């Protein structure tokens, strides 16, 4: 399919090491995809679901030990350790490759190596970057066909150039002790072994579009961020765009596809989704604004909790052309189910859980995750073009102009519903001090507060301190920079219930944010930033939420913030000596304001 010698030589080398029985090039045609689906079904790798209810939908179960990203086994391999920084795991490239090559050697014997030429971004656009993933997994091929733009046209666009990201994935033995997700940003390489799960193996996503791309962005003067992109359409037809960075499983997909509350819908408000996970941002020379594109082609969304009320758009998106991973199989009608879909789980005898065992929904206990039918990090892989609210700018070559950047985390206390930073530098600081309770999206304990700067802690492909410096520097070259905000949908009351209704009602907060961007509404200056006047958050039509609730949600408790400041100091010390001076200035200023 190509004469590019950089591509051909590399594939030859990788095949000589992994020893596949054959090599198949993925051309992006429907015929080839269909043949692969049939093959995967014949071996049990995938299950074809009810084609009347769920046309072109399939179910896949991963190994029980392989259900989420593994941050402890994710490495940034730069020549110098300082360039990866203290937040990343590091190993010297030569040492890591020696270790990996042993695991790869002969690992594809008896198997097929698939060659996937793919593009992150619209093929041929200024934003686009190309990659080739070699994998021995049909599941990976079929997911990449949804999540990225795959095909011969990518190779045509690449031509004779060596400028592509090399990705090698082998399932090997799915051995968690020898699982490695490794990145070589200095040589544009990604190597993944012993996993078959999502972010570990769909190398275009977190590995390329965030870890490698963040490194390239710094080198080339742009940004790769863990952000959704949405457009709010006003009754007069104006559309304003917002990007938002929340940690994994903290609400990006939900916010990106939100349906406005009735009182907004009746007035004519609409929300359009441009992306739900990753944004690539560049300064536009003509108007000096920051423009965003979503480099992906689909959604790899969290299934549990997705329902007709919380996220109808996501639900409709995954009613066709979708691969479900680790959800419940309803064998009565050959469909799928997950916790929080509806109140009708498949009855005992008709249900297979995510581990492939018979599942008894009557034994379900909210407090015991082991009784779940679907894994808490079970996912759907669905095409963006099937989303009812996909933006008409989804395939735009130049992207959409960003009015506001929103950071957010899962904080039971401390962080108010929303606040605005004083300026870009302070906004970068606000991003750097983000914290959130951990979720099931990564292996490890759930519900522990940890600092997750810009929601990028697991995804920055270089030194975190240098990344913050890049943020500060970008502010100086964006003449019409977006305003920066912070939100928290997850404050809880004394019984641990979320106070704010969230989901569609989050538009009420976005409405205030955009009004601030247009200088249409006042705010109260506090130690941490500008907070809304309670009466400026529209609560019309909300049951149970009064002006007092909003006041409570907006309180800034100085004592808990001062506690946070101590924790931030420790975190900055951990990040190390490349934390930019600007961040320490902001931290000192925050502490002084809190003590004033």
Residue 199 binding result from ligand SPV, Mn ion, ligand GTP, none, given CB thresholds of 5 to 8 Å by partner type: ligand SPV
Q: Can you give the length of the chain in residues?
A: 596
Determine if 564 is a binding residue for Mn ion (CB under 5 A). Answer: no
Determine if 248 is a binding residue for ligand SPV (CB under 6 A). Answer: yes
Rounded to 5°, angle at Cα 22 from 18 and 25: 100
CB of 226 to Mn ion, least distance (A): 6
CB of 272 to ligand GTP, least distance (A): 16
Closest C-alpha to 562, from 586, 584, 595: 595
Instruction: Candidates 83, 136, 277, 296: give the one binding Mn ion (CB under 5 A).
Output: 277
Which residue in the block uniquely carries the two structure tokens 């940890």? 450
Instruction: Candidates 248, 381, 403, 421: give the one binding ligand GTP (CB under 6 A).
Output: 248
CB of 100 to ligand GTP, least distance (A): 26
What x/- string results for residues 483 through 512 when contact with ligand GTP is judged by CB under 6 A? Answer: ------xx-------x---xx--x------
Count other Cβ atoms within 10 Å, centred on residue 385.
12
Determine if 447 is a binding residue for ligand GTP (CB under 6 A). Answer: no
For 128, 135, 231, 432, the CA distances from 295, given in Å and listed in that order, are: 7, 21, 16, 24
Which residue in the block uniquely carries the two structure tokens 């095409």? 383
CB of 418 to Mn ion, least distance (A): 22
Q: Which is nearer to ligand SPV, 447 or 479 (CB)?
A: 447
Determine if 381 is a binding residue for ligand GTP (CB under 6 A). Answer: no
Which residue in the block uniquely carries the two structure tokens 């863990």? 226
**Residue 99 and residue 120: Cα distance in Å, rounded?**
29
Determine if 354 is a binding residue for ligand SPV (CB under 6 A). Answer: no
Q: Could you tell me if 383 and 147 are in contact, meaning their C-beta atoms sit under 8 angstroms apart? A: no
For ligand GTP, which residue has the nearest CB? Answer: 502
Counting residues that bind Mn ion (by CB under 5 A) gives 2
Query: 318 an active-site residue?
Result: no
Catalytic residue among 250, 372, 387, 389: 250
**Residue 531 and residue 571: Cα distance in Å, rounded?**
25
Counting residues that bind ligand GTP (by CB under 6 A) gives 22
Dihedral-angle region of residue 498 (phi above 0 means left; psi in -120 to 50 means alpha; beta otherwise): beta
What x/- string results for residues 416 through 455 when contact with ligand SPV is judged by CB under 6 A? Answer: -------------------------x--------------
Instruction: Candidates 73, 166, 169, 206: give the one binding ligand SPV (CB under 6 A).
Output: 206
Side-chain half-sphere CA neighbours of 37 within 13 A: 20
**Residue 131 and residue 145: Cα distance in Å, rounded?**
13
Count other Cβ atoms within 10 Å, centred on residue 355.
15
Residues 6+ apart with CB under 8 A from 504: 258, 259, 260, 261
For ligand SPV, which residue has the nearest CB? Answer: 199
CB of 440 to ligand GTP, least distance (A): 9
**Residue 292 and residue 278: Cα distance in Å, rounded?**
10
The number of angstroms, rounded, from the C-alpha of 522 to the middle of its chain's C-alpha atoms is 33
Q: Which residues bind ligand GTP (CB under 6 A)?
A: 246, 248-254, 276-277, 301-302, 304-305, 310, 441, 489-490, 498, 502-503, 506
Q: Which residues have a catalytic role annotated?
A: 250
Q: Which residues bind Mn ion (CB under 5 A)?
A: 248, 277
Q: Which residues bind ligand SPV (CB under 6 A)?
A: 69, 198-199, 205-206, 248, 277, 300, 441
């Amino acid at each position: 399919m190509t004469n590019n010698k950089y591509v051909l030589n590399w594939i030859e080398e990788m095949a000589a090491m992994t020893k596949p029985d054959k090599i198949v090039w993925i051309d992006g045609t429907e015929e080839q995809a269909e043949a692969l689906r049939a093959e995967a079904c014949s071996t049990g790798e995938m299950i074809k679901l009810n084609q009347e209810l769920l046309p072109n939908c399939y179910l896949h179960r991963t190994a029980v030990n392989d259900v989420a990203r593994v941050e402890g086994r994710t490495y940034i391999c730069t020549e110098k350790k300082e360039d990866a920084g203290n937040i990343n795991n590091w190993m010297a490239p030569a040492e890591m490759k020696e270790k990996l090559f042993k695991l790869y050697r002969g690992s594809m014997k008896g198997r097929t190596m698939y060659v996937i030429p793919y593009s992150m971004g619209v093929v041929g656009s200024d934003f686009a970057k190309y990659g080739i993933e070699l994998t021995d997994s049909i599941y990976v091929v079929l997911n990449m066909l949804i999540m990225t733009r795959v095909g011969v046209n990518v190779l045509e666009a690449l031509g004779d150039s060596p400028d592509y990201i090399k990705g090698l994935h082998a399932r090997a033995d799915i051995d968690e002790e020898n699982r490695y997700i490794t990145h070589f940003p200095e040589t544009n390489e990604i190597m993944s072994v012993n996993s078959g799960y999502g972010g570990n193996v769909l190398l275009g996503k977190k590995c390329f579009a965030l870890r490698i791309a963040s490194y390239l962005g710094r080198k080339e003067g742009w940004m790769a961020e863990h952000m959704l992109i949405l457009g709010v359409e006003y009754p007069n037809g104006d559309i304003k765009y917002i990007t938002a960075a929340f940690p994994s499983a903290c609400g990006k997909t939900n916010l990106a596809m939100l349906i406005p509350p009735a009182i907004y819908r009746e007035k004519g408000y609409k929300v359009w989704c441009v992306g739900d996970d990753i944004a690539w941002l560049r300064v536009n020379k003509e108007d000096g604004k920051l423009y965003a594109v979503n480099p992906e082609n689909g959604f790899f969304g969290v299934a549990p909790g997705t329902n007709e009320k919380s996220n109808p758009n996501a639900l409709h998106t995954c009613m066709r052309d979708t691969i479900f991973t680790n959800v419940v199989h309803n064998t009565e009608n050959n469909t799928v189910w997950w916790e929080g879909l509806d109140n009708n789980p498949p009855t005992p005898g008709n249900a297979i859980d995510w581990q492939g065992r018979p599942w008894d929904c009557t034994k379900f206990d909210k407090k015991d995750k082991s009784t779940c039918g679907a894994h808490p990090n079970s996912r759907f892989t669905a095409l963006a073009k099937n989303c009812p609210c996909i933006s008409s700018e989804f395939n735009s070559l130049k992207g959409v102009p960003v009015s506001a950047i929103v950071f957010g985390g899962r904080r039971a206390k401390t962080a108010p519903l929303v606040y605005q930073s004083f300026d870009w530098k302070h906004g970068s600081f606000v991003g750097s001090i983000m914290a959130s309770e951990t979720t099931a999206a990564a292996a490890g304990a759930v519900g522990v507060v940890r600092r997750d700067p810009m929601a990028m802690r697991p995804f920055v492909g270089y030194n975190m301190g240098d990344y913050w410096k890049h943020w500060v520097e970008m502010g100086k070259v964006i003449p019409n920079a977006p305003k920066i905000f912070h939100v928290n949908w997850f404050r809880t009351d004394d019984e641990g219930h979320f106070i704010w209704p969230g989901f569609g009602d989050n538009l009420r907060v976005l409405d205030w944010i955009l009004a601030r961007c247009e200088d249409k509404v006042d705010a109260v200056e506090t130690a941490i930033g500008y907070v809304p006047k309670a009466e400026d958050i529209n609560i019309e039509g909300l049951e149970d939420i009064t002006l007092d609730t909003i006041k409570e949600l907006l309180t800034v408790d100085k004592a808990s913030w001062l506690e946070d400041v101590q924790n931030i100091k420790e975190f900055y010390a951990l990040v190390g000596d490349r934390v930019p001076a600007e961040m320490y200035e902001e931290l000192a200023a925050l502490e002084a304001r809190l003590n004033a």
